[in-house]
């Protein structure tokens, strides 16, 4: 999801938060610590993404370091140098990237948002950057050969929204409400238009509201006034939930569809006391959640995450947890902990690493990355009012823009 300029830049020294006492990025003897970076939105509008990413990354590092990893015959542990971009990649994030890549010379960097703003810096100082969440359309991978994705992009899950809506909800027309100026939301709207046309679903209305506004009445009035069978909200969690609240307050009671990855904690925190009523008849199309996954390792991770942090794990927590294992596998394959170019080349050659929990869908030769993108299955979830939680109603994959291998689930809220 592409960030906006929301706050002024802060100094790198004030924002860098080390996980542990840091070693260098170069190989040492047994027991040496290898350090990599992570630029996350731990505050600001995208903190609903960055904060849980950091928690999951910490779990992944701890799990990896129980055994360590071996590179060129020497055993290592991993540490992550965290930087908060304050949901402002264009200024703060760029400052952090210079600090991590140029000053500290870290060989690999995980990040959440801001791909377009990092391109000039990567041309000056190339470094492998693994994206943990940005599924914006068109794909960030077109921007730089140094970007890698540890999740599928929007085209791998948005078609499932229209597929399910048409066949299971009887939707023949849909209105779309978009956060104008928010890259992820605008990309979703393009994909919804394409998928609606492919499914024979009519787009009854398409309205917008400026990002940062708090009054969505004009956009809601246009969407509801077209009398659609369902309404799709295009943007990230922190943006669409206030719109959903006003939408329900306007009197609309029909199905609401989105691809924001809303979880029960976020619904309660953002929507307030009426969250359970507001979330009724909501459908989310995104990557599989660890709590609803059929993958035993994902479920075990979800249980551990909930027990440790007392919050519902998002899909992005799985991918963040697995980042340390991906880095370790690439370093082992490359035979170096310091040469970013060799490590980056090895990323394209590694198979699904042991210790990962995401339930990857490997490509040819069981490789983790296909054209610099790793993928997991996608799903549609619904809100269960009785349990005040989410349940998976359909898992699926997408090939050439069409839903394949759909698995429908019945009586999920029981």
pLDDT digits (tens, 9 = 90+) for 121-158: 999 999 999 999 999 999 999 999 999 999 999 999 99
Residues 6+ apart with CB under 8 A from 68: 75, 76, 77
- 3-state SS assignment for residue 304: helix
Instruction: Tell me the domain boundaries of the chain.
Output: 12-154+314-366, 158-258+262-291+378-408
**Are the C-beta atoms of 262 and 236 separated by less than 8 Å?**
no
d(CA 89, CA 39): 9
Strand order in the sheet with 256-258: 202-210, 173-180, 230-234, 256-258, 282-287, 378-384, 389-399, 402-408
pLDDT at 73: 95
With b for 16 or more beta-carbon neighbours within 10 A and e for fewer, the 283-321 pattern comes to bbbbbbbbbbbebeebbebbebbeeebebbbbbbbbbbb
CATH number for the region 158-258+262-291+378-408 comes to 3.40.50.2300
pTM: 0.89
Intrachain domains 12-154+314-366 and 158-258+262-291+378-408 with the same fold: yes
pLDDT at 45: 86
Token pair, residue 384, equals 């269960």
pLDDT at 414: 87
Token pair, residue 148, equals 């890698």
With b for 16 or more beta-carbon neighbours within 10 A and e for fewer, the 362-398 pattern comes to ebeeebbbeebbbbbbbbbbbbbeeeebbbbbbbbbb
Segments in the chain below pLDDT 70:
1-29, 31
User: What is the CATH topology of the domain spanning 12-154+314-366?
Assistant: Rossmann fold (3.40.50)
């Amino acid at each position: 999801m592409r960030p906006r300029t929301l706050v002024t830049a802060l100094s790198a020294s004030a924002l860098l938060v080390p996980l542990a006492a840091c070693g260098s990025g170069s190989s040492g003897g047994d027991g040496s610590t290898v350090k990599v970076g992570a630029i996350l939105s731990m505050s600001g509008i995208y903190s609903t993404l960055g904060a849980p990413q950091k928690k999951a990354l910490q779990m992944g590092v701890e799990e990896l370091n129980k055994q360590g990893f071996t590179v060129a015959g020497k055993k290592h542990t991993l540490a992550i140098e965290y930087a908060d971009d304050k949901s402002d990649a264009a200024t703060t994030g760029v400052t952090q990237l210079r600090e991590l890549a140029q000053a500290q010379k870290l060989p690999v960097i995980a990040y959440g948002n801001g791909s377009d703003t990092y391109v000039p810096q990567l041309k000056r100082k190339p470094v492998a950057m693994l994206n943990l969440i940005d599924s914006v359309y068109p794909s960030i991978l077109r921007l730089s050969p140094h970007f890698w994705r540890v999740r599928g992009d929007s085209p791998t899950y948005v078609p499932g929204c229209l597929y399910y809506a048409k066949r299971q909800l009887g939707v023949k027309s849909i209105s779309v409400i978009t956060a104008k100026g928010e890259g992820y939301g605008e990309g979703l709207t393009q994909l919804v238009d394409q998928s609606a046309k492919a499914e024979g679903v009519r787009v009854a209305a398409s309205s917008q509201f400026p990002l940062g506004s708090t009054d969505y009445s004009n956009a809601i009035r246009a969407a509801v006034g077209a009398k659609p069978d369902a309404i799709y909200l295009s943007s990230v969690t922190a943006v669409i939930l206030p719109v959903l609240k006003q939408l329900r307050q306007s009197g609309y009671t029909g199905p609401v569809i989105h691809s924001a990855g809303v979880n029960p904690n976020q619904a309660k925190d953002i929507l307030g006391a009426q969250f359970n009523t507001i979330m009724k008849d909501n459908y989310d199309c995104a990557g599989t959640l660890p709590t609803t996954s059929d993958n035993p390792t994902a479920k075990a991770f979800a249980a551990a995450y909930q027990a440790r942090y007392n919050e519902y794990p998002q899909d992005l927590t799985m991918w963040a947890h697995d980042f340390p294992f991906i880095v370790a596998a690439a370093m082992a394959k490359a035979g170096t902990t310091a040469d970013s170019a060799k490590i980056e080349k090895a990323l394209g050659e590694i198979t699904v690493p042991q210790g990962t929990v995401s339930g990857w869908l490997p490509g040819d030769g069981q490789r983790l990355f296909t054209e610099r993108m790793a993928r997991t299955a996608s799903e549609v979830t619904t809100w269960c009012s009785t349990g005040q939680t989410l349940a998976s109603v359909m898992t699926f994959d997408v090939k050439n823009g069409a839903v394949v291998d759909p698995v429908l689930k019945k009586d999920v809220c029981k």
